[in-house]
Structure 1
Amino acid sequence: MEQAFEPLVVTPALRPTLRNQEPIVVVQNHVGLYEGNRKDPHHNDGSLYLTPLRLLYVDRVNPHTRSLSLDLAQVKTAVAQAGFLTSSPKAVLTLRPKSMTAGDAPLSTATTSSIDWQCRICRHDNSGAAVKCTLCGVTRPPIAAGDPSAPLTALACPACTFHNHLSMRDCELCGSPLRPAFGPPPTAPPASISPLPSDLLVKLSFRGGGSTSFFTALQTALREAAWARRPDPAPLPAAPTPTRAVGGISQIVSRVDASHRATDDTLTAAFQDLDALQAMAHEMVRLAGTLATKAGPASAPTDGSDTGNLKHWLFSLGIDSPVTKDTAGAAYHSELAKELEEFLDPVLARVGGILALVDVYCLFNRARGVALVSPEDIYKACTLFDTQGLSLRLRPFSSGLLAVQSIDLSDAVVAQRFCQYLQTFGAMTAVELASYEQMATPLVHELLLIVEERGDICRDDSLEGLKFYPNRFPEMALDGAV
């Protein structure tokens, strides 16, 4: 498999690392890889991502060591293969050798006898030397003379055009003589002549469905060939065409047509500006990340300084290549969970490791721009944090409040932090503590109740409101005051 694919680096959320201006077109889970007709046991189940430039395979068992990438420029042909009985539907890719570029034409259209042929009945792939299908026994159909898929080392019958093995003197299908028409069998090329690099055959096995939509998107990406496109120069505005003054109805119609053309030109120019803005969106996000990294953690985004304000604005920029239902399909919620982890990791580091789900919804949709996500989809994605092996958890509280919490944040850590505030500033309400913690007040109230159940703090419920104090009763009991 190393002959065709290259190693792929994945993010901490187990998503592929994308290049600049490389959006994800479609995602499909439960995909296995074949090298020729041999199943690859090390790449038997994974998620397959399609972008305009590459095929990206993220292995489910060992994503950091077995994930692979394949440039679409290396794909020569792509053929869909239907499933049969226990065989899953597949996409058969013929790849150019890595020594050949996408623009190089093959030196010969002939192939060797090891090329597969597909049975017209059961769609099973057979070796080039097989006369009958090894699965159902149907005879191989005749191959027309001059067919580029005909093997070099086969003899075509002059009567029925069936290709026979070199050792045959008579046609195996119709019995016509072969030698008089073709002479002695061809000899192997001299050892001094180096053979041409042969094409590689890779199969993508779709064991979880979705082969049709994925193959359609793959054909579209190969046809558009985004890796070979270059931006076209902007067309020069056409010179206005002088019009001859016409009276009556003709003049009115001409004015209406001219007004429509002017409107169309205005809309075209506006959409060109919008397309240019969208084309630069990925570069803007990359630049924002670079600037935020250079700014460093010296100042928080809310400290009021210029650097803090800059980091806050950079945080509000869009998400590069957002996950959508059209691109992810059945894997939408699992991919959305991974994108949520990538987005929330730096956010939770600033807000104490926990954030109310309603705040997650607002912040996440603000960063996605126009590709908004419904509350139900965000909730379903958050419930998959545990099953996907991510570093976040969805935590429900007794009041019904839901929050997204880092797996490293425990109740003991929260209790220690809250007790430190109370020992430093004295009795505090949930509103006062929320201003120090940069959290929502309902979330701080729920956490205070949990810390109270632990026995670390105690309450004073009076007309002035509910206040919490450090729990001194254990110390007083040791001193004999109680």
Structure 2
Amino acid sequence: MTSTVPSAAINVWQPVNINRSNRPVLKDDEEIVYIRDNVGLYQGRVKIVNRQSGRVYLTNKRVIYIDNKDIKKSMAVDIDRIYLAATIDGFLRSSPKVKLYVNVEEDSKGGSKSVSLFKSLDWVCKICSFNNHLDSNYNLNNLPRCVSCGIPPQTKYIESLQNREEETSNGLEERRDDQCTKCTFINHPSLRYCEMCGSELKSSIPEDLRAKLHSSSAPDINDEQGSFNRLDIVLEGEESYSGDAKYVKLSFRTGNEQQFYTMLNEILEKRRWEELQSRGGVNQGAVKLNNVEESVRIKESGIYRLQLISEQTRKQNEMTLSSSLEDLEQLMYKAQDLLKLSSSFNSFIKPRVQYNVKLSALTVSKTSKIYHEELARHLSEYLTNYKLVKSSAMITLPDLFADYNRYLILTQGFGMELVTSEDFGTSVECFEKLSLPVVLREYDTGLKIVRPKFNDDYSAIIVNHLKNQEVQFKFNKLKQSILQSFDQSFDQDDYFKTGYKYFKGSTVSEISEHFTWSNDITIEELKKLVEDGLILIDKTISGTFYFINKITNYDFDQEREHDEQLKQEVESQLIKEQAQLEASNWGSLEPIEFQDVEYDSPAMKELKGLKLT
């Protein structure tokens, strides 16, 4: 028989107060989750003497052992100490066990000491000045973040608050227990928190009653002496562990260790989640996902165990398939609704390009010497029929590569072998050598584009587009100003007044959409025009806008003449629109009195005194 040796490695066990019914006295907000009898304790791999027959109470704060023979040998482990749990199957005469891995701090002498628990305190965030509260089980190495701004406090700051709290408590030994240490308000003895400031009180028990409790035979859990010596823990041999981690074991003589293990894991998961929330690591409104239910544990052994495992796997597969079929059936029920929903988006989707003229397929083998030349001709035919149909059209090489391969799939099916990037690059280099109607050009930035051969300068069409945009703006502004002169209620919400206050220019995206260019091509062309002094840039917080350069070499006399012609066009259009409305019987015209406005144009005088009703 091995000799009994007192343990001196870890000190995780704490004394437990027992009531007259031989049940543990629970702490505040502590509740029992699970109870099991016929349980023995192990310190590492070695049994603890005289603690092999007792009851285990699993609570939300502790794992409590109550010895059936001597209640003075009862003790507990705090849940905060446990960071991992594992099960050990029984074998022959060995009972199933649950292994509890515990946190241990080494002292300066190489031994172990318990994790120090501080008193709760309040600290003010130095960033946002928010008043935070720290519970009594906080860790200096992992302090929670500020509830308001999310910035954690410095360790030195919390340590200084601890020292100040200790000095205050030491200097106020004569103060009453029901007197608040922060605001000095005297509270009712039964209160745990101050009525004035909400701070935690030193004690809610009067002095005389606490003295009686201290003199009782029950062990005191607040004793500053090490609980290890008072608990008289003795092992059946030298203390040892199967690894570097420290742990204790609970041996379940009559089984049911799996239920204990499951409930303990739930408590640990809840603790970790609450700790993560206290540190500010969880967004507001976040929901914790529940773990998938584990399969039922099979206790049998041998061939029968293998048969049960196979049966269990088959049932799980059946459940998975049946649930999948149910989802598929629900999807079929919703198929009609999905089709209606998809058809409702047709008006927002650009119509697919219709290839009315299908090009003949490229039948040359890739190993042929003329493959790249024939591919270049096929690309040229594709460009002139579909992409470069306008004189202002241009396309970048990446867009051409993607569009051409997409064209091959749509016209010849998915079995068609696509053109590789190497063959594509070699073929486009042959455009100029083969005298094809398209050419390859490269900008200074390295951007390569393909454009029609006969058009080498796009400056004029861009400048004309910007001029037309400004002319259209003036036309609409004149039209709305004339209509407003007839009826002052025409623009009550000042929509036209605000929108046509001044010409805002054109953006890159607007120019690209007009010419069907990519933004890269538009930027390169606009850069050339700016360098040549033909257009100007206006960079604002709303974006970058481009205008015609009217500062240098601009004919303002010609612009004024054009504005007069534009005014006459607006007046003529208004007369035509009014005549069309009258002819279509959409309304009748009747004379009304307007403000006295002088009109230079005879056409506009015809509109005076008329109103659409």
Shorter-chain TM-score bucket reads: 0.3 to 0.5
TM-score, reference length from structure 1: 0.32
TM-score, reference length from structure 2: 0.26
Whose RCO is larger (CA < 8 A, sep 6+)?
A: 1
